[in-house]
């Protein structure tokens, strides 16, 4: 899987997910509905609150991620386009976080910042393993 999750323990995960849910805007997706498309502009990131998503890059299936998965943060951080396409595998609820909300979370919860960094490192290591 190419996606990192929020927290490593259940209590950390629950408290951070609650914080993200409070700050972000909940969005629901039906099975097969696209969350975002590779190459499109990215001004928000998402955290999966419920359900599962499928990730593909260049039309190649990369994996499935569920509760706690952080997606879209790369485009939000560097103001670039989306590096993957994400589709709801089943009914999903995602917390949508814009740039100002993202900065607020990083300021108020340093553990959130660490989770984002761990997510990026996990993704990088997984891609390295594929090469």
Q: What is the pLDDT of residues 79-122, one digit of tens each?
A: 999 999 999 999 999 999 999 999 999 998 888 888 888 888 88
Residue 119 lies in a domain: yes
What pLDDT score was predicted for residue 5?
57
Distant-in-sequence, close-in-space partners of 130: CB < 8 Å, separation ≥ 6: none
User: In Å, how far from its chain's centre is CA 63?
Assistant: 13
pTM over 0.85: yes
Residue 72 lies in a domain: yes
User: What mean pLDDT do residues 16-33 have?
Assistant: 92
What pLDDT score was predicted for residue 1?
45
Residue 32 lies in a domain: yes
Quote the number of domains for the chain.
1
Residue 21 lies in a domain: yes
What pLDDT score was predicted for residue 10?
41
Q: Which domain holds residue 114?
A: 10-99+108-124
Residue 80 lies in a domain: yes
The CATH number assigned to the domain holding 56 equals 2.60.120.10
The DSSP code for 94 is E
Residue 129 lies in a domain: no
């Amino acid at each position: 899987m190419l996606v990192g999750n929020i927290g490593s323990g259940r209590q950390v995960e629950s408290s951070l997910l609650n914080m993200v849910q409070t700050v972000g805007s909940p969005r629901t997706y039906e099975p097969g509905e696209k969350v975002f498309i590779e190459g499109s502009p990215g001004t928000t990131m998402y955290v999966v609150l419920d359900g599962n998503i499928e990730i593909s890059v260049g039309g190649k299936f990369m994996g499935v991620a569920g509760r706690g998965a952080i997606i879209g943060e790369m485009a939000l951080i560097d103001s670039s386009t989306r590096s993957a396409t994400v589709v709801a595998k089943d009914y999903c609820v995602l917390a949508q976080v814009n740039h100002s909300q993202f900065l607020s979370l990083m300021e108020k919860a340093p553990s959130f910042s660490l989770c984002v960094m761990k997510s990026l490192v996990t993704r990088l290591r997984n891609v390295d393993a594929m090469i």
